[in-house]
A and B are shown apart, each in its own frame.
Chain A
Amino acid sequence: MEFAFSAEQEQFRDILARFLKDKSPPRAVRRLMATAEGFDADVWRQACGEMGLAGLHLPEAYGGAGYGPVELGIAMEEQGRTLFCAPFLASAVMAGYAVLLAGSEDQRHALLPGIADGSTIATVAICERAGLWSESDITVAATRAGDGWQLDGRKRFVVDGQTADQLIVAARSAAGVSLFIVDARADGVHRSAANVMDPTRKLADIDFDAAPAQLLGIEGQAPLDRIFDAVLVSFANEIVGGAQAMLDSAVEYTKLRVQFGRTIASFQAIKHRLADLLVDVELAKAAAYQAAQQLADGDSATASASLAKAAASEVYMRAARECIQLHGGIGFTWENDTHLWFKRAKSSEVFLGTPGEHRERMLQAMGV
């Protein structure tokens, strides 16, 4: 297992960080979070074009750049740091991995190039109740209809469900749980935006009412765990980017703010809090990086994926809370940017399973 980023990976990080600093300052985040679609189509085109962002982790045979989970982790971390508003998690990561890991060769060729170049926005609709992706939670029904299938039932918490062109939906037939491809604009698909606390992560509820669907991969054999692990690992990397941003912001502010004739950064009580936070952020980063490394090495990543998600999302919440606290009154205002990250921290804490659920999942994956 590698324990360091290569020079090339560091260089990729720098280039992407510059791009995001330019395209995704808090001003842009605020503008986009107030829109229904939640992202800027021009910037998305540039990110996918110049930067090749959406196809980073997809094989070249399907229009991707052929990199792996470690590079994807870097991309996610930088996006998390800047709260980049884009359908990256939904389309590139979640749907990208779902098609890659579940689809037939023909389906990968049909769907992945569009995801990789950003022209198709896809997402996954798996969750019905909150929490982990558990097969037993899935009740949406799949029945054969002519050459294809039709779906009935309701999905919740679908990331970018309002804007997606294609939906990858988990549904149950007699053979068990399978994944299906659904054209999001087909008759029988009814989407309604959820009122989200974190407006940088748009969610939708989707009702399927005899919605036409095509089987993705093999009936009854949805590789939900493998997709989930891959998604979790990159999500954990996004989360540590956000946590680092909160730590940086808190440190920076305490060096500016003067009370009692000195900067508040000179108070030991504050230095010690931030030193403790630094330790926790660094450990969570190490966990997220090594989980990505393990996935890249082709090892089973279930335990480390859950480990990283639990560690990262708790630290993010803590960092956001500390950042507000150390800002004092201004930290509680709408005008100050900290709440944008605080809300992302909250949504990241519970999305795809709470820290407690992941601690238990980790133990079970370890055979404990």
Chain B
Amino acid sequence: MIDDVRAEVRAWLATTWDPNRSLVEWRGMLVDAGWAAPDWPEAFHGRNLPPAAVRAVSEELAAAGAIGAAQAGVRALAAATLLEHGNDDQKRRFLRGVLTGEDAWCQLFSEPGSGSDLAGATTRAERRGNQWIVNGQKVWNTSAHHANYGLLLARTDWDLPKHEGLSYFVIEMHQPGVEVRQLKQMNGHASFNEVFFTDAVVKPENLIGSEGGGWSVAVTTLAHERSGFARSREAREDGGRAGRIYDEYRQEVAVANEPYSWYPQRAGRVDLVIERAKETGAIHDPAIRQEIARLLILDQSAQWYAARFREAQKARRTRGAEGSISKLAASQIARLASDVHTAISGIDAMLTGPDSPHGGIIAEILVSVPAVSIAGGTDEIQRNILAERLLDMPKEARFDTGPFRDIKRN
């Protein structure tokens, strides 16, 4: 079957791939042919193919030098959430723009008063006439400054218990009631933002799931975010190829995807460790070799675990919390990798920018890794999830039951 898929992609590419098309035109063709997201359902741009076949499709695209569907950032979470909870109209309206890259998305979950405790959100959405009116503030929202759509978790009822009064919306970011301010991070980048809503408007058809059913939709987004930490951790380089489409792609990487430029570094750049150890000679130090081996073992085991998990997911043999295993593994790997890079670099780890080894990449690793164990749900929260959902240990004591308006808050 995989061979048939390969042959079909190859034949299709032979007649359609042309580096002088525009990026959006090309991705539109990919979407129409079902190669942009081959694992998606046939009704929505996909072919319902298993993971091995999906890998084969991307290998064929790469072999031909063809650009694939847009992938960076929150769009994948938006798609996964919409595929599970969106109605057909919503899937029709949003999924195509996810794949072509015409739309960019951000996640509007965290607030100054509620991060780990997401269900404590106090941004409010009220029905006025035929519209939802949003007021409040979100924070740490990656790429909100580039996004035209946001995945918004907001409170629609203050008298219900906290998890029951939330609703989930798609909000248009480019409107007068939405103000985005960039925040500078400890690694010098400004990828995340604070977002203020003042009578911002959401159309009624952009409520995802039911009114009051927002929490379960948010849980889907979060589950995909966690298991996603195991993927796409290596930097991609495109070798400066010529053609209009490559120019546009480089532009996308440089501008729209700029907030993610340090993501490979925050994961620890395990792929650079051996090269660096050879450069500095640390490869001959038995103590450092041990640490390198520990890191490679952890990293390989986590990749194998993730592959087994994806297979089990396809066979519907998972309990749903396993993404937290991958997320905790990613934190462990990132921390160990930053230690190993430090040991390999020695005193050069004091330097930053162009003075830091590997054109500043090593310094960027060291100051970016702390994000992994916070973003997407902290390590402590993942541990709670694993203990309660996979080990069936008792839930944390609750002090936040009853109507939301009566609960202690920041």
Contacts and interface: CB of A to CB of B under 8 A. Distances in A.
Interface in A298-353: 304, 307, 310-311
Contact of B393 (A255, A279, A286, A289): A255
A274 B328 contact: no
B391 interface: yes
B166 to A, nearest CB: 25
A282 B298 CA distance: 11
Contacts of B391: 251, 271, 274-275, 278
A4 B315 contact: yes
Given A4-B308, A4-B311, A255-B393, A275 B297 contact: no
Nearest to A285: B305
B297 A359 contact: yes
B298 A272 contact: no
A359 B301 contact: no
Contact of B301 (A262, A284, A368): A284
Q: What size tier do the contact residues of chain A reach? A: 35 or more
A283 interface: yes
A15 interface: no
A270 B388 CA distance: 12
A278 B325 CA distance: 8
Contacts, number: 113
Contacts of B305: 282-283, 286
B342 interface: no
Contacts of B286: 360
B302 interface: yes
Query: Main secondary structure on chain B at its contact with chain A?
Result: helix
A25 interface: no
A227 interface: no
B382 interface: yes
B405 interface: no
B185 interface: no
B394 interface: yes
Contacts of B300: 287, 304, 307
B293 A279 contact: no
Contact of A286 (B292, B301, B380, B383): B301
Nearest to B312: A4
Nearest to B322: A282
A359 B393 contact: no
Interface string B378-406: 00101111111011111011000000000
A169 interface: no
A283 B301 contact: yes
Given A284-B301, A360-B290, A363-B292, 10 more contacts: A4-B311, A251-B391, A255-B392, A271-B393, A274-B393, A279-B325, A279-B329, A282-B305, A311-B301, A362-B296
10 contacts: A3-B310, A255-B392, A262-B394, A266-B393, A282-B325, A283-B305, A289-B304, A307-B301, A311-B301, A360-B289
